[in-house]
Amino acid sequence: VLFGERPYWWVHETQFYGAEPAPSLQQFPITCETGPGSPSGHAMGAAGVWYVMVTALLSIATEKRCPPLLYKFLQVGLWMLMGLVELVVCMSRVYMAAHFPHQVIAGVITG
């Protein structure tokens, strides 16, 4: 499970396409990943760092006795921002064929 293949490895080794040609996937220096793909380290790192930042900022807001309405807006805004960042990170990893979707989901959960 932790040493899953990456899409650009799998596409050339699978028999899924039968007689049809496999899609052309190229590696570039920015996408050249040499290690196993599961779980996604980028998704894991982003989830871990953003979780710590959001909870720290909300803790500071609580200590400063932020007004309840402002605190609620801050809470919703920060968690939504974290969700958006995670979504963009995960989608970019799948788009670049660096990971399968289940690998980025595993990265977010473990992060």
Q: How far apart are CA 109 and CA 80, in angstroms?
A: 17
Q: Which of 86, 99, 104, 106 is catalytic?
A: 99
Task: Tell me if residue 42 is catalytic.
Answer: yes
Q: Which of 42, 93, 106, 111 is catalytic?
A: 42
Q: What is the CA radius of gyration of the chain?
A: 19
Amino acid identity at 47: A
Task: Tell me if residue 12 is catalytic.
Answer: no
Phi, psi torsion values for 44, nearest 5 degrees? -65, -45
Q: What's the half-sphere exposure (Cβ side, CA atoms, 13 Å) at 2?
A: 2
- Catalytic positions are 42, 99
